[in-house]
Amino acid sequence: MGFAFRLFVVWQLLWGLAAFVAIWRDKELAREGRRRIPERHLHRLEAWGGALGSGVAQLLFRHKTRKVAYQRVYRRLLAAWLLGWALLLGVQRLAG
């Protein structure tokens, strides 16, 4: 695999970890009754590449899974990243 592919993977891992931690922290803040992380910030992390990490955290911590408006935006971001992965893997395969 080329440098660009490895860079893309590292990018996804780092932003995924950041989004995972943010979802976990938001859940903890909610439990404590404290001020929460704004949804736009969570979506920003997902948009930058943390959609997969966010999704894992949502399922693991059962957080934001029933909020329809949040899920609508999240699923669109996830679809965009999955399309990006499909395109990258397709290009890698054609070049391979």
The residue count of the chain comes to 96
* Tally of domains within the chain: 1
In the block, residue with structure tokens 């909610």: 30
> 64, 71 in Cβ contact below 8 A?
yes
* Position 2 confidence tier, pLDDT thresholds 50, 70, 90: confident
What is the Cα–Cα distance from 2 to 89, expressed in whole angstroms?
11
| Tens digits of residue pLDDT in 45-59 | 999 999 999 999 999
Residues in contact with 75: Cβ distance below 8 Å, sequence separation at least 6, in sequence order? none
Q: Look up the pTM and report it.
A: 0.92
| Tens digits of residue pLDDT in 28-38 | 999 999 999 99
Residue 55 is part of which domain span?
3-95
Looking at every residue in the chain, the average pLDDT score rounds to: 95
* Position 96 confidence tier, pLDDT thresholds 50, 70, 90: low
Residues in contact with 23: Cβ distance below 8 Å, sequence separation at least 6, in sequence order? 42, 54, 57, 58, 61, 63, 64
